Structure 1
Amino acid sequence: MTYLSPLLTRPGAVAAGAPDQGTASHYGDPFKEQRALARGAAFVDLSHRGVVTVTGPDRLSWLNTLSSQLLLGLEPGSSTETLLLSVQGRIEYNARVVDDGTTTWLLVEGFEAEGMAAWLDRMKFMLRVEIADVSDTWAVLGSVKRLEALAARTVWVDPWPRVAVGGYAYSVVTEEEHPGLERPWFEYLIPQAELASTVDELADHGLSLAGAMASEALRVAAWRPRAGAETDEKTIPHELDLIRTAVHLDKGCYKGQETVARVHNLGHPPRRLVFLQLDGSQHTLPAVGSVVVAGGRTVGRVTSVAQHYEMGAVALAIVKRSVDPLGELVVQDGDDVYAAAQEIIVAPDAGQVVGRATGFLKGRR
Structure 2
Amino acid sequence: MMDADLGRVPGAVLAAGVLQHAGGPLIEQRALVRGTAVAPRADRRVLAVTGEDRLSWLDSVTSQALTRLEPGRSTELLVLDPQGRVEHAAAVLDDGETTWLIVDRDDADALLAWLLRMRFRLRVAPRDASDELAVVGVTDAGLGLVVPAAPHEVPLVWKDPWPEIGPGGVGYAPEADHPGYAVRWNEVLVTEAELQRLIDAAVSGELALAGAMAVEALRVAAWRPRWSAEVDERTIPHELDWMRTAVHMDKGCYRGQETVAKVHNLGHPPRRVIALQLDGSDDILPAPGDPLRVGEAEIGRITSVARHHEDGPIALAVVKRSAALDGDGLVVSTAEGDVTATATTVVPPDAGAAAAVPRMPRLSRRPAATRP
Match of 2:169 in 1: 167
Residue 56 of structure 2 aligns to a residue in which SS? helix
* Matched residue, 1:282: 282
Q: Secondary structure at the match of 1:128?
A: coil
State the Cα distance separating 1:278 from its structure 2 match: 0.3
Deviation of residue 204 (structure 1)?
8.9
Maintained 8 Å contact 1:113/1:135: no
Instruction: Report the Cα distance in structure 2 between the residues aligned to 1:212 and 1:33, rounded to whole angstroms.
Output: 10
The corresponding residue for 1:158 is 160
Shift in Å, 1:200: 3.6
Query: Is the Cα–Cα contact under 8 Å of residues 286 and 305 in structure 2 kept in the other structure?
Result: yes
Q: Partners in 1 of 2:107 and 2:263 — Cα distance?
A: 26
2-structure distance, mates of 1:149, 1:274: 34
1:361 corresponds to which residue? none
Work out whether 1:354 is the aligned partner of 2:355.
yes
Query: SS of 1:177's equivalent?
Result: coil
Q: How does 1:323-362 map to 2 (within 5 A)?
A: 323-328=323-328, 329-355=330-356
For residue 51 of structure 1, report the CA deviation from its aligned partner.
Answer: 1.0
- Report if the CA contact (8 A) 1:48-1:139 is conserved: no
Q: Give the direction of change, closer, same or farther, for the CA distance of 1:148–1:204 in structure 2 (3 Å limit).
A: farther
CA distance in 1, matches of 2:291, 2:69: 41
Alpha carbons of structure 1 residues 199 and 75: separation in structure 2 relative to 1, 3 Å: farther
Separation in 1, partners of 2:46, 2:210 = 21
What CA distance in whole angstroms lies between the structure 2 residues aligned with 1:182 and 1:202?
26
Q: Could you tell me which residue of structure 2 aligns to residue 132 of structure 1?
A: 127
CA RMSD between the two structures:
1.9
Q: Which residue of 1 aligns with 2:183?
A: 183
Residues 336 and 97 of structure 1, relative CA distance in 2, 3 Å threshold: same
SS in 2 for 1:93: strand
Higher mean alpha-carbon deviation, 149-158 vs 85-94, is at 149-158
Instruction: After superposition, give the CA deviation of every residue in 1:312-331 in whole Å (9 maximum; x if it has no partner).
Output: 11001111001114244110
Q: Give the Å deviation of 1:272.
A: 0.5
Residue 360 of structure 2 is matched in structure 1 by none
Superimposed CA distance per residue, residues 24-83 of structure 1 (whole angstroms, 9 cap, x where no aligned partner): 111111211111112221111102312110001110011000010110111111000110
Q: Which whole-Å CA distance do the structure 1 matches of 2:13 and 2:147 have between them?
A: 29
The answer (yes or no) to whether the contact 1:4–1:23 under 8 Å persists in 2 is no
CA offset at residue 136 of structure 1?
3.1
* Structure 1 residue 149 displacement after superposition: 4.3
Q: Distance in 2 between matches of 1:65 and 1:222?
A: 30
Shift of 1:10: 1.3
- 2:268 aligned residue: 268
State the alpha-carbon separation in 2 of the partners of residues 187 and 246 from structure 1.
16
How far does residue 84 in structure 1 lie from its aligned partner after superposition?
0.4
1:10 and 2:9 correspond: yes
CA–CA separation in structure 2 for the residues paired with 1:43 and 1:336? 36
Provide the rounded CA distance (Å) in 1 between the counterparts of 2:29 and 2:267.
40
Secondary structure, counterpart of 2:130 in structure 1: coil
Counterpart-to-counterpart distance in 2, 1:222 and 1:156:
17
| 1:204 to 1:60, Cα distance in 2 relative to 1, 3 A | farther
Q: Give the structure 1 partner of residue 214 of structure 2.
A: 214
Q: How many residues align?
A: 349
Q: Is residue 240 from structure 1 mapped to residue 237 from structure 2 by the alignment?
A: no
TM-superposed CA distance for 1:151, in Å, is 5.0
Q: C-alpha displacement at 1:203, in angstroms?
A: 8.5
Q: Which consecutive residues of structure 1, in runs of 5 or more, have no partner in the other structure?
A: 357-365
Alignment of 1:1-365 (within 5 A): 5-16=4-15, 21-145=16-140, 147-150=143-146, 152-153=148-149, 154-171=156-173, 173-174=174-175, 176-192=176-192, 194-200=194-200, 207-328=207-328, 329-355=330-356
In terms of Rg, which structure is larger?
A: 2
Amino acid at match of 2:274: V
Moved more, 328-337 or 53-62: 328-337
Q: Normalised by the size of structure 2, how large is the TM-score?
A: 0.89
Identity percentage over the alignment?
52
Q: Is the 8 A contact 1:330 1:338 kept in 2?
A: yes
Query: How far apart in 2 are the matches of 1:285 and 1:115?
Result: 31
Structure 1, 136-145 or 237-246: larger mean CA deviation = 136-145
Structure 1 residue 8: deviation in Å?
2.9
State the AA in 2 paired with 1:226: R
Residue 362 (structure 1) aligns with: none
Alpha-carbon contact 1:183-1:219 (below 8 Å) kept: no
Partner Cα separation in structure 2 for residue 48 and residue 125 of structure 1: 30
Whether the 8 Å contact between 2:40 and 2:137 is mirrored in structure 1 is yes
Q: Is the 8 A contact 1:84 1:94 kept in 2?
A: yes
After superposition, the Cα gap between the structure-2 partners of 1:205 and 1:55, relative to the gap in structure 1 and judged at 3 Å, is farther
Provide Cα deviations, 1:98-135, integer angstroms capped at 9, x if missing partner: 00110000000001111111111111111111010122
